[in-house]
Structure 1
Amino acid sequence: MTKALSVWITSVLIVLGIPPSAGAAELLMLEQPGCVWCARFNREIAPAWPKTPEGQRAPLRRVDITGPWPADLADITRERFTPTFVLMENGREIGRLRGYPGDEFFWFRIDELLAKLSPASQG
């Protein structure tokens, strides 16, 4: 799916009042331009994320904290520290990881968060 199509589908869902993550888990990545730790995550983890079991259970959704806050995230506390990863399920926050601790520790911490998902989202 192209990025333009994905954005269009998300926009339609929001207009219809359906959160894009309804019935599913997603991993928000709160980021901002110039964030060196975001760039490191993008090199070390991002390319593999969608191909992993973790990425299949919780697809990555990027949110630029310097831009408008998405309407479907109105109940989610904003962050000034980036990157911050927020695990969401059915539109609510399950937990968050502030900062990027390096590739090995990241996988450990994300696995801890994913273990908190409901059995339906466990995959």
Structure 2
Amino acid sequence: MKFFIFKALATSPLLIIFLSSAAIAQQLLMLEQEGCAYCEQWHEEIGEIYPKTWEGKKAPLRQIDIHDPWPVDLENIKSDIFTPTFVLIDKDQEIGRLRGYAGDEFFWFLLDELMEKLEKPAKL
């Protein structure tokens, strides 16, 4: 009996949203839109390697089209009209954002500055 209740809960959209947002405390949102040349450039230069970097492991990328309905689990984060905009979030709070893309070196430099603002683990 408990198995069926758990199974029904496990397929609940609300539970899935809760688990997905709770499981990843830190994320890098990429706000983009179709036809954005700078978004395409980012995907060509960085997109494939980002998940393999320490930044990508610490703050996985989540792509959001600015014309789609805003995700419920991001209600504390404001959208933007400029694309691409990168928003670093931690525990559903914005740490900072980068507007635009001016090349890979500039992106990594600015992203590293944002990553330094994340909470550092307490030393024992």
TM-score range normalised by the length of the shorter chain: 0.7 to 0.9
Check whether the contact 1:22–1:91 (CA below 8 A) recurs between aligned residues. Answer: no
Q: What is the aligned partner in structure 2 of residue 48 from structure 1? A: 49
Q: What is the aligned partner in structure 2 of residue 103 from structure 1? A: 104
What's the CA shift string for 1:35-81, capped at 9, x where partnerless? 00000000000100000011111000001101111011112111010
How high is the TM-score relative to the length of structure 1? 0.82
1:1-123 correspondence runs (5 A) = 12-14=15-17, 17=18, 20-21=21-22, 24-120=25-121
How high is the TM-score relative to the length of structure 2? 0.81
Superposed CA RMSD in Å reads: 2.1
Amino acid corresponding to residue 96 of structure 1 in structure 2: R
Q: Distance in 1 between matches of 2:24 and 2:101?
A: 27
Q: What is the number of equivalent residue pairs in this alignment?
A: 111
Structure 1: gaps of 5 or more residues? 1-7
Decide whether aligned partners of structure 1 residues 91 and 10 sit closer, same or farther in structure 2, where only a CA change above 3 A counts. Answer: farther
Structure 2: gaps of 5 or more residues? 1-10
